[in-house]
Structure 1
Amino acid sequence: MTNRDEIKVFFDEYQKALTAYDAERAAAHWGTPGTIIADGFIGSAESTAEMAEGLATGYPFYRRLGLASVGYTLLETVDLTRQIVRVRVRWHFYDAQGALLTDSDYEYLLRRDGGGLHAYVAVAIDETEKLSQLAAAKGVEVPAR
């Protein structure tokens, strides 16, 4: 069974990689294949390099929104098996002054394998809606997927 401290370490490190816009470091938190699902998008990466490339495609948009850092809150953890845990996370998006721009909920399926916990599935619950609202407020065009 996973414990909350192990999950917190995973997301602390993932948060640091996302804040640094370090796609390779963020992708290292993913197992392969890794899948990201949203209402208007589904994509799978067969390699860590492919996941890094996919993550990096969103960085120009996040920068135009003024995103300078991210934080998170663990909302729920459920051990599904001895190796797999479902985690609900609320991501907090901040500008350079530390003001909250918006937040977004995600559900992850994490699996413990030889290298520790890795994400295999992420479901964006409300990211598209919330980032679209932020983009409209800032006059930033939302890129087509």
Structure 2
Amino acid sequence: MDDIAAEIDDYLDRYAGTLTSYDAQAAAALWGSPGMILNDEQGAGVLESREAMARGLEQSYPLYRRLGLASVGFERLSHERLSATIYLVRVRWLFYDQEGNRMTDSLASYILRRGDGGLRAFVCVPADDVEKLQALAAEKGVSLSPRQGHQ
């Protein structure tokens, strides 16, 4: 494995750990500023600060808890060097329940930049998270209604 692959895997492992522990501040610290989420449904959302990123992450936690999410893993599908410090990374996130059973997965691509503080994400392009989340919620009988804590 080349050095950048190991560095990317370490980054993704730390990011998965923040998701498993529901640590929005630690997850946001792995992002550069501003950060952008670019998707088909809502277009581009720019978060100007890590504090805004943490607030956004925290809004999804009640739903993830209701769904029974206990841990997050990943498979790095590919990485490509775009410039001296910028990489395109494709990831399959794996979501597990308390018993270690895989609940669902989700594909995403990230633009990561290596700086003095290591790798940071600046852009995320989720591919299928909305559909997978809706299917899991329907399977578990969990409402995605904003009144019940998901925004």
Q: TM-score range by the shorter chain?
A: over 0.9
TM-score (norm 1): 0.95
Q: Secondary structure at the match of 2:99?
A: coil
- Give 2:16's aligned residue: 15
- Give 1:107's aligned residue: 109
For residue 2 of structure 1, report the CA deviation from its aligned partner: 6.6
Matches of 1:56 and 1:87 in 2, distance apart?
24
Q: Secondary structure at the match of 1:97?
A: coil
| Structure 1 outlier segments of 4+, above 4 Å | none
Matches of 2:37 and 2:15 in 1, distance apart?
15
Q: Secondary structure at the match of 1:4?
A: helix
For residue 142 of structure 1, report the CA deviation from its aligned partner: 1.6
Counterparts of 1:1-145 in structure 2, within 5 Å, are 3-41=4-42, 42-143=44-145
Matches of 2:145 and 2:94 in 1, distance apart?
21
In structure 2, runs of 5+ residues without a counterpart are none
Matches of 2:109 and 2:138 in 1, distance apart?
25
TM-score (norm 2): 0.91
Question: What value does the CA root-mean-square deviation take over the aligned residues?
Answer: 1.4
How many residue pairs were aligned?
145
In structure 1, runs of 5+ residues without a counterpart are none
Q: Secondary structure at the match of 1:58?
A: helix
Change (3 A) 1:108 1:100: same
1:33-81 residue CA offsets vs partner (Å, 9 max, x unmatched): 0011222233211111111111111111111111011000000100000
Matches of 1:12 and 1:103 in 2, distance apart?
16
Change (3 A) 1:136 1:52: same
For residue 107 of structure 1, report the CA deviation from its aligned partner: 0.2
